Amino acid sequence: MSTPTEWALLVEDSRSLRQYLADTIHEHANIAVASAASLAEARELIAQRGEQFFVGILDLNLPDAPDGEILDLVLATGMPIIVMTGYLDDGLRDRILAKPNVIDYVLKTNASEATYVAGLVRRIHRNRQIKVLIVDDSTSFRVYLRELLRTHRYQVLEAANGQEALALLQKHLDIRLMLTDFHMPKMDGQDLIKQARRQFDRNQLAIIGVSDQSAPITSAKLLKAGANDFIAKPFLIEEFYCRVSQNVETLESIDFMRDSAVRDFLTQLYNRRYLFDVGTRNYERAKQDDSGLATVMIDIDHFKHINDSHGHFVGDRVLQRVASAINAGIHPHDILVRHGGEEFCLLLHDERATDHLTQELERIRALIATLEIPNGHDVIEVTASLGATVNKTHSLAGMIDIADAALYLAKTQGRNRVQIS
Tens of pLDDT, residue by residue over 286-317, are 988 888 899 999 999 999 999 998 899 999 99
pLDDT of residue 306: 92
One domain, residues 247 and 345: no
Residue range 146-164: mean pLDDT, rounded: 95
Q: What is the mean pLDDT of the chain?
A: 92
One domain, residues 347 and 414: yes
Among 261, 281, 303, give the residue marking a domain's end.
261
Does residue 370 lie in a domain region?
Answer: yes
Q: How confident is the model at residue 383 (pLDDT cuts 50, 70, 90)?
A: very high
pLDDT of residue 2: 47
One domain, residues 32 and 166: no
One domain, residues 219 and 114: no
Residue 198 CB neighbour total at 10 angstroms: 9
One domain, residues 237 and 221: yes
Q: How confident is the model at residue 214 (pLDDT cuts 50, 70, 90)?
A: low
One domain, residues 287 and 361: yes
Q: Is the pLDDT of residue 1 over 80?
A: no
How far apart are the C-alpha atoms of 380 and 303, rounded to whole Å? Answer: 11
The CATH number of residue 24's host domain is: 3.40.50.2300
Q: Nearest 5°: CA angle at 415, between 413 and 421? A: 60
Domain count, the chain: 3
Does residue 391 lie in a domain region?
Answer: yes
Q: Is the pLDDT of residue 273 over 70?
A: yes
Condensed to tens digits (0 to 9), the pLDDT of residues 71-94 reads 999 999 999 999 999 888 888 888
| Contact between 373 and 406 (Cβ < 8 Å) | no
Does residue 100 lie in a domain region?
Answer: yes
One domain, residues 82 and 170: no
Backbone angles phi, psi at 270, to 5 degrees: -65, 160
Does residue 110 lie in a domain region?
Answer: yes
What percentage of the chain exceeds 70 in pLDDT?
99
Does residue 1 lie in a domain region?
Answer: no
How far apart are the C-alpha atoms of 210 and 136, rounded to whole Å? Answer: 9
Q: Where are the alpha helices (DSSP H) in 236-302?
A: 237-261, 272-274, 280-289
Residue range 364-378: mean pLDDT, rounded: 90
The CATH number of residue 321's host domain is: 3.30.70.270
pLDDT of residue 4: 60
| Contact between 326 and 268 (Cβ < 8 Å) | no
Condensed to tens digits (0 to 9), the pLDDT of residues 4-22 reads 678 999 999 999 999 999 9
Does residue 346 lie in a domain region?
Answer: yes
One domain, residues 154 and 276: no
Among 240, 261, 282, give the residue marking a domain's end.
261
Residue 140 lies in domain: 128-261
One domain, residues 197 and 286: no
CA distances from 313 to 59, 308, 310, 341 (A): 44, 11, 8, 14
Least Cα distance to 268 among 257, 280, 259, 281 occurs for 259
How far apart are the C-alpha atoms of 60 and 66, rounded to whole Å? Answer: 7
One domain, residues 121 and 105: yes
| Contact between 400 and 345 (Cβ < 8 Å) | yes
Does residue 331 lie in a domain region?
Answer: yes
pLDDT of residue 290: 86
Q: Is the pLDDT of residue 67 over 80?
A: yes
One domain, residues 209 and 136: yes
One domain, residues 414 and 291: yes
- Determine the distance from the C-alpha atom of residue 314 to the mean position of all C-alpha atoms in its chain, rounded to a whole number: 29
- Determine the distance from the C-alpha atom of residue 88 to the mean position of all C-alpha atoms in its chain, rounded to a whole number: 35
Q: How confident is the model at residue 374 (pLDDT cuts 50, 70, 90)?
A: confident
pTM of the predicted model, to two decimals?
0.74
Q: Residue 168: which region, alpha, beta or left (left: phi > 0; alpha: psi -120 to 50)? A: alpha
Among 85, 100, 125, give the residue marking a domain's end.
125
Backbone angles phi, psi at 297, to 5 degrees: -105, 130
- Classify residue 338 by its DSSP letter: E
Does residue 138 lie in a domain region?
Answer: yes
